[in-house]
Amino acid sequence: MTDAPVFPDSLCHRCAHLRVVHSGRGSMFLMCREPSLPKYTAQPVRACRGFTPASPRSGRSDPDGS
C-alpha cells in the first residue's frame, strides 16, 4: 500500500471533513464527513459549499474507516 494521496489536487485534501479510507484490498478512498453531502463524491473536487479548511496538524487518515 502506498501513502501517495489519491486525487492530490482535490480540494478535499485541505478540508476538515475529509477522511481517507484504506480498504483491505489496498485501495484508498476519499470519504466526506460533512452530513449534507454524499460520502463519496466524484473526484477531484474543485469547488465545494461544505469546504472547511483543515488545521495543519489534523490527522485525517483512518485505516479502518471507522
Nearer Cβ to ligand SF4, position 23 or 39? 39
In the complex, the smallest distance separating the C-beta of residue 4 from ligand SF4, rounded to whole angstroms, is: 18
CB 20 within 8 A of CB 56: no
Nearer Cβ to ligand SF4, position 18 or 21? 18
Taking the CB of residue 17, how many other CB atoms lie within 10 A of it? 17
Helices assigned H by DSSP within the chain: none
Interface residues with ligand SF4 (CB under 6 A) are: 11-12, 15, 17-18, 32, 34, 37, 41, 45, 48, 50-51
In the complex, the smallest distance separating the C-beta of residue 63 from ligand SF4, rounded to whole angstroms, is: 18
Quote the CA–CA distance of 4 and 8 in Å, as a whole number: 8
